[in-house]
């Protein structure tokens, strides 16, 4: 995506890691603090190009902690971070279907937003597209 390696290595990766650790703590406390809590189901997530790793972490970590599965569409120009994240999930033993990455442009985003199996949408992007959603 053209981001300087130092910024990614020294800022984005540690912040994303801490975000997942933070939400893992919440996941462990859900049963105790909110008995009977159930995730809403499938969360469709659409993120922009400017912070591909951090936006991914900010969307996926809380959804997984709440017991949801995710379908994430990264920006069409910066999909590599999300693809690598999906590979890491697979190698780490995350069950198939829990974290799903869909690549593409506006058509892919519309398919997620309009899919009857998606119970919630998390979107970061332009106001114009947000109003359509």
pLDDT single digits (tens) 3-32: 889 999 999 999 999 999 999 999 989 888
Q: How many structural domains is the chain composed of?
A: 1
- DSSP sequence for 14-75: HHHHHHHHHHHHHHHHHHHHSTT----SEEEEE--SSSHHHHHHHHHHHHHHTT-EEEEE--
- The neighbouring-strand residues paired with 73 are 46
Return the pLDDT at 2: 78
pLDDT single digits (tens) 60-116: 999 999 999 999 999 999 999 999 999 999 999 999 999 999 999 999 999 999 999
**CA–CA separation, 65 and 69 (whole Å):** 10
Q: Could you tell me which of 40, 39, 43 has the C-alpha nearest to residue 113? A: 43
Of residues 1 and 103, more confidently modeled: 103
Domain CATH for 86: 3.40.605.10
Taking the C-alpha atoms of 39, 59, 47 and 106 in order, what is their torsion angle to the nearest 10 degrees?
Answer: -10
Return the pLDDT at 15: 97
Q: Give the residue numbers spanning the domain of 123.
A: 5-132
pLDDT single digits (tens) 35-68: 988 999 999 999 999 999 999 999 999 999 999 9
């Amino acid at each position: 995506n053209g981001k300087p390696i130092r910024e990614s290595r020294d800022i984005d990766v540690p912040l994303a890691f801490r975000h997942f650790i933070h939400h893992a703590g919440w996941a462990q406390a859900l049963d105790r603090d909110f008995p009977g809590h159930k995730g809403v189901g499938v969360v469709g997530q659409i993120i922009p190009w400017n912070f591909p790793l951090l936006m991914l972490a900010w969307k996926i970590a809380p959804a997984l902690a709440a017991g949801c599965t995710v379908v994430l569409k990264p920006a069409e120009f910066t999909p590599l971070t999300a693809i690598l994240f999906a590979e890491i999930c697979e190698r780490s033993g995350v069950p198939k279907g829990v974290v799903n990455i869909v690549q593409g442009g506006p058509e892919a985003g519309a398919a997620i937003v309009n899919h009857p199996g998606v119970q919630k949408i998390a979107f970061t992007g332009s106001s114009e597209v947000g109003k359509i959603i």
